[in-house]
Chain A
């Protein structure tokens, strides 16, 4: 009843090709952006920003990057933590070694270094697929673990291997309070989500999806595999690298190589799988699921009044997590995004059943 396109006639090709053709979608998105940029800073608590909103935003950005690679181009990657690490350490080196380096340039520079790294480790994808490619990207993960631990200049010769970043500021505006950090991350996520959405709708995105669905047939009709696969690695690594820079600079402030370990790679892969492969909105759903579920599992025993030792709670969290991942893969392999789009389909003809 409310979500129908009745009376919405497109009078130009531009209107027909719009990102959100249905007017209600556009209004809903504008409302969401208004709430995110204006509403949430007014009502959110410090804890909410620091421990929930900022990690959620940064991880959803990384999930968007990974979704481009895994969901749209079909190249399995277990090295996302490595790309985040490269982005973070490159941004750190740019900031520490160049006097007066602006924060935004440092983060984008970190992303570019991650791009180079990603393309390098994406070269095996031209010859191997599936599980074997996953193992090759795993090599990227372990290589980065070794690299950031052993090579001294990466951590600016820090004796402990830990690096930390000083006061962040953009054009004189300090980024110190949780609200400012939240708004910075929100800005990055909004811009990159728009870029990613447009990319996947364009020619490049279609090439990626063709490679994912049937790469031999795609090559036959003239899509160059080298270009498609390496561009997917490049774009994905750039976004993930920027996310890594944000994770280190804004969320942690001070980090060690273990912060970008194999667990982070798995976490991002689960986000993308549960959220929905091949969907930008799915990255957000997956990130929300993975960031919020442990918190929920922590609080439920309290709400129910059950005294649960923290160790047991963490073990339970791992078990329930694994069970939910298996459940989602069986019941809805296309993830939460498919559930959401099914709901929207049903809304279009609501209150009628068909």
Chain B
């Protein structure tokens, strides 16, 4: 009985000590460092995507510290917080990290769902939320969404570019075609639907939507339905474990993989590596040109991985998800640099000042080349109205062993997207009682 009593008391004590957990973490970084919070998901259904993404984000910050000594001498400090793609955990991480080290420089929530939850709070706390390649597509309108930055592209631009590439294959016209959208049944997967519906009306194709219950490992019935309906093309809005499951089902049901277009989160090496030749022909869209390798990868190897400081495995450097993580961190660092030009070089900046930096990004081709991203990105310029900057995308195709760049540069056709952005942004402003600011 005695050991059991001791064990019981010990467990009760542990439960009681949890009350002490509310004490804030000791500040790990020294004063004079710019703090960048890193919200990641290394566990959960999206972990296969989240791990290289998180590694890429952290690696670039380490690179900037090692190679350049920080931004104009101000070193970058960072801390990871695990969200597991859960909105409540994401909110807890946001609350924990927003005030560290003089204020968080910006939140890359890595999830459309968490972006929804954090956007309302960031608006009050005055902290920028950068959502490159995901998030609310209408937040490209900077007059309503002062603190959101869907840089480099949104799901609406992605869907539009996919349709452009399909139209090219179909000799310029989509009329009469059947296009299916197989999507992760969450705000992430539902994002492209408004734009696709509008384009279906305008271009005369039929859109059918197939939701897949998260986490998406069960897709047999979905792909059997697709086999029955025989759409001409399938747009695949998946991530994490859902992607390989879907491609395997497509293979099993005999749907040609050349007709499948995966969104950028569904087109990375870990998604298709294990399937290998079975996924041959699978197309994916990349945000800007994240499939390329450039000087930044060599720098990363030289300054970080060779010194044993790398976050992930060296083999992960150069995969699409890792490169995307690096691009996102690069945008954060360049926003800090741009803000320092205005508010004082070598100073630690507040989140509001970094927001100004995000709004006044001007990355020219020369600048990108100097940073080592010349092949990976095209020039990006944000403004007060346009928080997305310039969107570019390319289509890549898996040949069984690696990704090959299949197409030239695409830009989304704004004739449908711009009115939709305005409409949805106005609706958001009305619901939330936000007075759009004037950009003059």
Q: Which residues of A contact B (CB under 8 A)?
A: 45-48, 50-52, 55, 145, 149-150, 159-162, 164, 166-167, 176, 251-259, 263, 285, 288-289, 292-293, 295-296, 298-299, 302, 309-311, 313-315, 324, 327-328, 331-332, 336, 339
Contact = CB atoms under 8 A, between A and B. Distances in A.
Contact of A259 (B8, B12, B23, B88): B88
Given A167-B433, A259-B88, A289 B95 contact: no
B144 to A, nearest CB: 14
A337 to B, nearest CB: 11
Contacts of A328: 11
Interface in B11-49: 11-12, 14-15, 17-26, 28, 40, 42-43, 47
A315 B121 contact: no
Given A161-B186, A296-B17, A310-B40, A253 B121 contact: yes
B411 to A, nearest CB: 24
Contact of B24 (A45, A50, A162, A256): A45
Nearest to A295: B21
Given A254-B120, A328-B11, A311 B47 contact: yes
Interface string B355-383: 00000000000000000000000000000
6 contacts: A145-B213, A251-B88, A288-B18, A289-B15, A299-B25, A310-B40
B166 interface: no
B202 interface: no
B154 interface: no
A292 B21 contact: yes
Given A55-B88, A285-B15, A311-B42, A256 B432 contact: no
Interface of B: 4, 7-8, 11-12, 14-15, 17-26, 28, 40, 42-43, 47, 51, 80-82, 84, 86-88, 91-92, 95-96, 99, 112-113, 116-117, 119-121, 124, 136, 185-187, 190-191, 193-194, 211, 213-214, 431-433
B42 A310 contact: yes
Contacts of A288: 15, 18-19
B83 to A, nearest CB: 9
User: Ordered nearest first, which 8 A-B pairs have the shortest CB separation?
Assistant: A311-B42, A292-B18, A296-B21, A310-B82, A160-B187, A295-B21, A51-B95, A296-B18
Given A55-B88, A302-B25, A310-B40, A149 B185 contact: yes
A24 to B, nearest CB: 21
Contact of A162 (B28, B116, B432): B116
A47 B96 contact: yes
Given A52-B22, A254-B116, A314-B82, A161 B11 contact: no
Contacts of A339: 8, 12
A46 B96 CA distance: 10
Contacts of A161: 185-187, 190
Contacts of B431: 164, 166
Contacts of A253: 117, 120-121
Contact of B43 (A254, A315, A327): A315
A52 B7 CA distance: 27
B43 A314 contact: yes
Nearest to A343: B12
B310 to A, nearest CB: 13
Contacts of B113: 162, 256, 258
A310 B80 contact: yes
Contacts of B25: 299, 302
A145 to B, nearest CB: 8
Contacts of B43: 311, 314-315
Given A51-B95, A302-B25, 18 more contacts: A45-B24, A46-B95, A55-B92, A159-B190, A160-B191, A162-B113, A166-B432, A256-B116, A258-B87, A292-B18, A295-B21, A299-B23, A309-B42, A310-B40, A310-B42, A311-B47, A336-B12, A339-B8
A47 B125 CA distance: 12
B187 A256 contact: yes
A167 B432 CA distance: 8
Contacts of B4: 331
A46 B431 CA distance: 26
Given A252-B87, A254-B116, A51 B92 contact: yes
Given A295-B21, A311-B42, A328-B11, A258 B92 contact: no
B47 A327 contact: no
Contacts of B120: 164, 253-254
Contacts of B91: 50-51, 251-252
Contacts of B96: 47, 51
Contacts of A299: 21, 23, 25
